[in-house]
Structure 1
Amino acid sequence: MRTWGPLTAVCLGTFMLLLDVTIVVVALPDMARALGASLSDLQWVVDGYALALAALLLGAGAAADILGRRRVHVAGVVVFAAASLLCGLASGPAALVAARAVQGVGAAAMFATTLPLLGSVYRGRQRSAALGVWGAVSGGAAAVGPVLGGLLTEGPGWRWIFFVNLPVSVVAVWLTLRVVPESRGPRGMRVDWAGTAAFAVFAGGTTYGVVRAGADGWTGTAALVSFGAAVLALLCFVLVERRAAHPLLDLSLLRGPAFVGVMAGALAFNGVAFGVTPYLSIWMQTLLGMSPVHAGLTLLPMTVAAMVTAVVVGRRLHGVSARLTVGGGLLLTGAGCFCQAVLGAGSGWTALVPGFVLVGVGTGFVAPTVAGAALAAVEPARSGMAGGAVNTVRQLGYAFGVAVFGTVLTSRMAGDLPRGAAHALAGGGAAALRGGVPEHTLRAAFAAGLDAALVTAGGVGVAAGVLVFVLVRPARGAAGGVTGAAAGTLMEEKPVHRP
């Protein structure tokens, strides 16, 4: 317990918070029926969590350096558990979305402290072993999420995808307080609250604008106001970061082409690989009549391919430039999206399998190496900041992807159906439309919308891959990619969030 207890405690929290990114995907149709949720509501069920996690991750890490990492981690677990209870008890979509956002706040506190806590406990070979276990748990959570979500949704009901967090949270808090020592960053640090708030407004405003554009059009008042607020917030963030003594993100890092390339790749990756998945799940369940468990199992070709590729990459491509791992992985992921865009009114889920496998292979290249690529692009004193930034943009990319590809989906469907019917269909309302719209029309419209979203995702993935190839150049005598050693550096240097 003394040796591996801290790793167990930290991995419990990591597993929960990453599981909740994907576990809701197969439950969306049941949530829509139970709560009367619209497509926009369902998008926010996914994005509310991811946005809060992304917007507060850097700020939570800075606060943990000052207040104590174990204290902030435990507080995060408690907030996460309380929000999970509220999610399970939600009586309407607004309550569920709000609770999901609070869940994201707790998840940010947990995620920001995982590597620093491990880094304060383990050294040498134990650190490498701990990092390997933590990475496997992180990947496993994403793979297990849809299947576990399907089992719980089809069994006791969708609310149990949240209730299951409660006993795990109790064990995580007890174990953390018992076996994880407290640690802090260097003295004299301050939390950049102004920068945190500006970044949160930028992320939320951008996402809200895209979601409203899907409902009202890109020139709708709500969308334009949201985009305007997001632009102002981004300008404020830049001004604050330039003047802050301890900024969340040292903007001088953006002068390095390699760092910019890796951040762009990380931003695109999660959105391209997973941003269309919620809509594929809705299509499978409401148009193809699949059960939640069956819908979750259809993602196994992608997750198995990702896990196998990640193992091979870790063993065979140690030290290979990020131009090949991240850039090449994004090209494969984009190609996989293109391969999925072959759906028609009579298509079944098996048409997606070749594309799923390609996306999984691409994910296996990018996911284990992108954080290390960010570290390799900056000086060691900025490794904590770079690691936090890459995790932030990955979650932000997922939130943006769900919003953007949902808007593309409904815009294309609106060419075959009235806009209101298109939104209802994309939000899981096929049953209510069947009385007035032929089944073939519904299937053809949804398939066309998915094809448009997948082509868009593929284009973004390929463009991001090319950008990584152009901007990321391996330094002479040094590897341009990241592996366990570089991630170990992140654990070592995490206290240094700011200059």
Structure 2
Amino acid sequence: MRKWLPLTAVCLGAFMLLVDVTIVTVALPDMAADMHTGFAGLQWVMDVYALAPAALLLGAGSLADRIGRRRVYLGGLTLFAAASLACGLATGPAALIAFRAVQGIGGAAMFATTMALLSAAYQGRDRGVAFGVWGAVNGAAAAAGPIVGGLLTEHFGWRWIFFINLPVCALAVYVTLRAVAESRDPHARSLDLAGIATFTAGAAAVTYAVIRGGDNGWTSGTTLGLLGLGVAAFAGFVLVELRGSHPMLDLSLFRSHTFVGVMAAGLLLSGAAFSYLMYVSLWLQSVEGMSPVGAGLVLLPMSAAGFVVAAGAGRLLHGVSPGLSIGGGLLLIGVGALLQAWLPAAGDGWPALVPGLLVTGVGVGVATPALAATAMGAVAPARAGMAGGALNTARQLGTALGIAVLGAVFHAGLRSGLGEGGRDLSEPLASGGAGELLAAAPAGGARDSLAALVDAAFASGLRDTFLASAAMGLAGALMAFLLLRRTPRAAAPMIPAPAAPTSAPVPVPRP
């Protein structure tokens, strides 16, 4: 049993990281009520946790190669635990968002090292078993997140979704210290600090511009200035990577149409499949009156379908063109979103969403196993770690931008559904305050009219959100069909991770 302790240490960290993505989704209405925060604040609580790893994953991987993967993993666990405690004790939305960002920094350190630690700890058949167990834990964690979050929020309060991380972190640190050996790359590159800084600035500026665009106006000086800053920062990133002696991302990789297709597919898959879940959760709890546990159960079919399909897709679709598997999966994601946009109308309840959630989950399960293998096959073996980090970055960035873009679409659709006379209600409704508004309305016809207006507004907002999500999925499918036409050369042996409703890291062997 002792030989599986390194796997236990890695799986504890992975489970906690992925649970903390989906566990927050069902707690958002309670957070909004307790913290008196608005719609943009809720978006940032979700978004910053994806944005920090997107910005720092490649840099964290380079740091781990230089100073030791075990050391960086332990540092990530410790930082994650401290930030979780601070999130649970936060007294305002600004503090909560800041500490969620620190959680994301700790998560980046853990994301960047887990697979390298497993690769160093196991060889041969044991490595395949370890990757398989790690993938199963990924899927189980993401599926369990809404249920665990619902139970904790409903019975103990939303702060316990963060406090629960402390004993798990402590156990993971203990097992890591006892059983995980240190490893590093003797030929590791120096840190690309300029690349990290410019990429972080670009991603943060664009995300903030999109989140604030609905309130400030898309042509306002603030929005255009932030977008301009983001474009300038990304341009700086390109220059730094082209001129640097040790870039964290070798831009020559993008000369391969296969690599470009995989990056685009990873980004659009995360944005299309997962980013609307927080808005669905707000509707389920604030309008449909469901408990946090009930809302978590509604989202379960998607994650369960993705988990089951991905477990078999890696073997059943082996040798199939990546354009067919990845493109087909994204096509199903787009169709699933269209089903959700087509079926719901004012007065429909949560069962109307289930067919679309199931189809989306199947699409995620079909596409996910091929993403990592195709990325590995598109580059030289010496660039395998960089390619895997780039794919993880694309998926995290897809989630962050997806939450921002779909949030703007949802809010605009909500305001449109309210009409001119109800525009003042859009912010409290988007922040999960529908129940309080209805309770405060006079009983009788006035309350019934308000309830009908709220129902119609949410139907409008969600329909527009699903249509935007479908557009992302179908655009990703088209790019995959066009760019991923050939089966990549054989990559390093690996067991694909089951899909999960999160931009979870994919199992990638580091060189």
**Fold-level similarity (TM above 0.5):** yes
- 1:172-197 C-alpha deviation (Å, 9 max, x unpaired): 01110110000001335201011011
Counterpart of 2:482 (choices 470, 483, 486) is 470
Report if aligned partners of 1:381, 1:493 keep a CA contact under 8 Å in 2. no
- Mapped partners of 2:145, 2:205: distance in 1: 28
Change (3 A) 1:214 1:343: same
- Mapped partners of 2:188, 2:329: distance in 1: 41
- Over the aligned positions, Cα root-mean-square deviation in angstroms equals 1.7
Q: Where in structure 2 are there 5+ consecutive unaligned residues?
A: 442-448, 498-505
- Mapped partners of 2:327, 2:250: distance in 1: 24
Change (3 A) 1:486 1:20: closer
AA aligned opposite 1:401: G
Change (3 A) 1:181 1:257: same
Report if aligned partners of 2:266, 2:394 keep a CA contact under 8 Å in 1. yes
- Report 1:64-79 matches (<5 A): 64-79=64-79
Aligned match of 2:510? 494
Q: Does structure 1 residue 422 correspond to structure 2 residue 426? A: yes
Change (3 A) 1:331 1:491: closer
- Mapped partners of 1:314, 1:14: distance in 2: 21
- Mapped partners of 1:447, 1:383: distance in 2: 44
- Mapped partners of 1:475, 1:317: distance in 2: 11
AA aligned opposite 1:391: N
Q: Does structure 1 residue 174 correspond to structure 2 residue 188? A: no
CA displacement at 1:416 relative to structure 2 = 3.1
Which shows bigger deviation, 194-203 or 219-228?
219-228
Helix, strand or coil: the match of 1:246? coil
Report if aligned partners of 2:416, 2:460 keep a CA contact under 8 Å in 1. no
AA aligned opposite 2:478: V
CA displacement at 1:486 relative to structure 2 = 8.4
Change (3 A) 1:162 1:258: same
AA aligned opposite 2:30: D
Change (3 A) 1:429 1:222: farther
Aligned match of 1:440? 452
- 1:288-307 C-alpha deviation (Å, 9 max, x unpaired): 00000000001121122112
CA displacement at 1:2 relative to structure 2 = 2.9
Which shows bigger deviation, 399-408 or 360-369?
360-369
- Mapped partners of 1:287, 1:80: distance in 2: 34
- Report 1:49-448 matches (<5 A): 49-187=49-187, 189-341=189-341, 342-417=343-418, 418-434=422-438, 435=440, 438-448=450-460
CA displacement at 1:381 relative to structure 2 = 1.2
AA aligned opposite 1:398: T
- Mapped partners of 1:475, 1:141: distance in 2: 31
Q: Where in structure 1 are there 5+ consecutive unaligned residues?
A: none
TM-score, normalization by structure 2: 0.93
- Report 1:2-21 matches (<5 A): 2-21=2-21
- Mapped partners of 2:46, 2:374: distance in 1: 28
Change (3 A) 1:475 1:370: closer
CA displacement at 1:53 relative to structure 2 = 1.3
Which shows bigger deviation, 306-315 or 332-341?
306-315
TM-score, normalization by structure 1: 0.95
- Mapped partners of 2:363, 2:487: distance in 1: 24
Report if aligned partners of 1:119, 1:492 keep a CA contact under 8 Å in 2. no
Report if aligned partners of 2:211, 2:405 keep a CA contact under 8 Å in 1. yes
CA displacement at 1:219 relative to structure 2 = 1.4
Which shows bigger deviation, 219-228 or 1-10?
219-228
Over the matched positions of the two proteins, sequence identity in percent amounts to 54
Q: How many residues align?
A: 491
